[in-house]
Amino acid sequence: MKAMQDLPVINRLLDLNNENIVSFHVPGHKNGRLYERFQYKNFIDVLHQLDTTEILGTDNLHHPEDVIKESQERASKVFGSEETFFLVNGSTSGIYSMIMAATSPGDKILIDRNCHQSVINAMILGDLVPIYIYPRIEEGQGISIGMPEEEIERQLIAHKEIKAVILTYPTYYGIAWDLKKIGEIVHKYDKILLIDEAHGAHFGLSVHLPPTALSCGADCVVQSTHKTLPSFTQSSMLHIQGNRVQREKLKSMLKIHQSSSPSYLLLSSLDFAVMLYKEQGEALMEELLRNIEGFKADIGTCSRIKVMGEEVVGENKAFALDPTRLWIAVEGVKGYDLDAILRKRFRIQMELSNEYGVLAVTTMGNNKADFDQLQRALQIISSEYMDRCIEEIDVQRYRAPKQVLTPRAAFYGKKKRILLKESIGEISGEYIIPYPPGIPLVIPGEEINEEVLNVLDQMIKGKKEILGLRDGAYQWIDVILR
Ligand SMILES: Cc1ncc(COP(=O)(O)O)c(C=O)c1O
């Protein structure tokens, strides 16, 4: 399609489309490829005509009685829930809804500190007091690999008034905890287990993937269908089982957090994703896992390229690893640089990077040619970019800041603006969120420490996008007035 005048967003998207970028990022349909492969292109061609609202013949997401009900019921069967709700405001809206359905203002809730920002936003909205568990960090990669189950139990004993536990499962990097065991602990203390399974909507498709959160006994689960399955960006699902979370309260929360004009285009894409999952999912997943095996075998011949694998699984480490997430490092090349080289020189877009490596989100939409291109590019990079030895990379350790105020108290507290470099020891009045992955480095109410500023400095130098800090030059920060 030709570029048109005065349409900045559309023209940029058309330009990107013409670049034929190889997608190792979300959304899971990979530039619409799965719609084309399964001949749903005719649906896409008339998308503009299908954009509608609640009229005679459609249905109402907030009170479904017809086609939405039918599609949600099919999803519930396919994903093994008791009831499933379609989300058109991202997993974010499902996370707000399930947390606020399971709690009341003033309640305490146990959270993994490497959660997505939406979990913390729910603390602000729902006036909740978070108690954090800190996953174990793999020093060599800078990512969380283990969830200390004994710590969960300790916190549940120490804070009897905790209402619910919310965990990220799997992490952005595909790390899974022993959720069955965690579920047993949480339920032993009669608490509610909520799971942010944003990155695990595909888990039911193969025995080679970690078990689904529902099969591990979670009470309520939110999945980003758009990330690893082929629905459109912003469309997700919330699944529920059992009666620990009140269904009526959950439905009220969904009405509050979702648009009164839900997009039928997003709903249609969820319908498609469920159908594909059911009809073709297992075969497509098998094909993907085969392609990944081939890619890893080819890469294995080059000692300078490392793909994270089973070495992170074991005692005091990860319980399981999602093989469709590829965390890749090239010796001698910083992750941030690797990310930029892949995109600028090889037209390959990865999901995210840090100082050490880059992350590929692979889905059923990726084909063998994608993996071949990635493999060739990595091999060229590993032989041409050897200017810095990995040992020389100045790795900054992150020490999670201490919580002094609740996120809500800090959010609404009186603030002053000071220079970021003079903020050590101050209580942050705002978020600092590297994006992606959207996991806050600093949460409002936390005390800023030196390690945080060092890591932030490294991210800014790596040209990583930082959300939260209102000042675009990253020089100033709002802290609590004391
Ligand atoms: C772990 C996790 N949870 C929740 C979300 C929010 O999902 P959405 O963007 O669909 O609102 C994200 C988004 O990246 C995420 O990574």
* Cα–Cα distance, 391 to 401 (Å, whole number): 27
Positive or negative torsion for Cα 334, 339, 340, 342: positive
* DSSP category for residue 401: P
166 CA to middle of ligand 1, Å? 14
Distances (CA, A) of 380 to 141, 300, 369, 377, 389: 23, 14, 17, 5, 17
| HEC letters along 152-192 | HHHHHHHCCCEEEEEEECCCCCCEECCHHHHHHHHHHCCCE
Nearest C-alpha neighbor of 446 from the set 464, 423, 465, 467: 423
93 CA to middle of ligand 1, Å? 10
Cβ within 8 Å of residue 145, ≥6 positions away: 135, 136, 137, 138, 175, 312, 317, 318
Nearest C-alpha neighbor of 306 from the set 271, 338, 269, 266: 338
Atom of ligand 1 nearest to the CA of 233: 10
Domains and CATH numbers, the chain: 49-279 (3.40.640.10), 281-392 (3.90.1150.150), 407-480 (3.90.100.10)
Atom of ligand 1 nearest to the CA of 236: 10
Atom of ligand 1 nearest to the CA of 196: 3
Atom of ligand 1 nearest to the CA of 227: 10
Per-residue model confidence (pLDDT) at position 438: 80
473 CA to middle of ligand 1, Å? 26
To test the ligand 1 pocket, which listed residue (87, 116, 439) has its Cβ within 8 A of the most ligand atoms?
116
* Cα–Cα distance, 108 to 111 (Å, whole number): 10
To test the ligand 1 pocket, which listed residue (85, 113, 118) has its Cβ within 8 A of the most ligand atoms?
118
Secondary-structure percent of the chain, ordered helix, strand, coil, rounded to 5: 40, 20, 40
198 CA to middle of ligand 1, Å? 6
Q: How many CB atoms lie within 10 A of CB 15?
A: 10
Atom of ligand 1 nearest to the CA of 171: 1
Tokens of 186: 């949480």
Which amino acid, residue 23? S
* Cα–Cα distance, 86 to 68 (Å, whole number): 8
Q: How many CB atoms lie within 10 A of CB 116?
A: 23
Angle of CA points 105, 118, 261, to nearest 5°: 90
Pairing of strands 220-223, 192-196: parallel
Which amino acid, residue 340? A
* Cα–Cα distance, 118 to 132 (Å, whole number): 15
pLDDT tens for the chain, 482 residues: list them: 666 778 999 999 999 999 999 999 999 999 999 999 988 888 888 999 999 999 999 999 999 999 999 999 999 999 999 999 999 999 999 999 999 999 999 999 999 998 999 999 999 999 999 999 988 877 666 677 778 888 999 999 999 999 999 999 999 999 999 999 999 999 999 999 999 999 999 999 999 999 999 999 999 999 999 999 999 999 999 999 999 999 999 999 999 999 999 999 999 999 999 999 999 999 999 999 999 999 999 998 888 999 999 999 998 889 999 999 999 999 989 898 999 999 999 999 999 998 889 999 999 999 999 999 999 999 999 999 865 544 444 555 677 899 999 999 999 999 999 999 999 999 999 999 887 778 889 999 999 999 889 888 888 887 778 887 766 778 899 999 98
Nearest C-alpha neighbor of 55 from the set 46, 45, 66: 66
92 CA to middle of ligand 1, Å? 6
For residue range 328-387, what is the model confidence (pLDDT) as tens digits?
Answer: 999 989 898 999 999 999 999 999 998 889 999 999 999 999 999 999 999 999 999 865
Positive or negative torsion for Cα 188, 193, 195, 200: positive
Q: How many CB atoms lie within 10 A of CB 414?
A: 8
* DSSP category for residue 291: H
204 CA to middle of ligand 1, Å? 19
Q: How many CB atoms lie within 10 A of CB 400?
A: 17
Nearest C-alpha neighbor of 135 from the set 154, 117, 115: 115
Tokens of 134: 């800190």
Nearest C-alpha neighbor of 93 from the set 230, 241, 234: 234
To test the ligand 1 pocket, which listed residue (196, 224, 231, 435) has its Cβ within 8 A of the most ligand atoms?
224
Nearest C-alpha neighbor of 79 from the set 293, 273, 322, 227: 273
1 CA to middle of ligand 1, Å? 31
For residue range 40-74, what is the model confidence (pLDDT) as tens digits?
Answer: 888 888 999 999 999 999 999 999 999 999 999 99
To test the ligand 1 pocket, which listed residue (86, 88, 91) has its Cβ within 8 A of the most ligand atoms?
91
Pocket of ligand 1 (CB under 6 A): 90-92, 95, 116, 118, 168, 172, 196, 198-199, 224, 236, 437-438
Per-residue model confidence (pLDDT) at position 391: 45
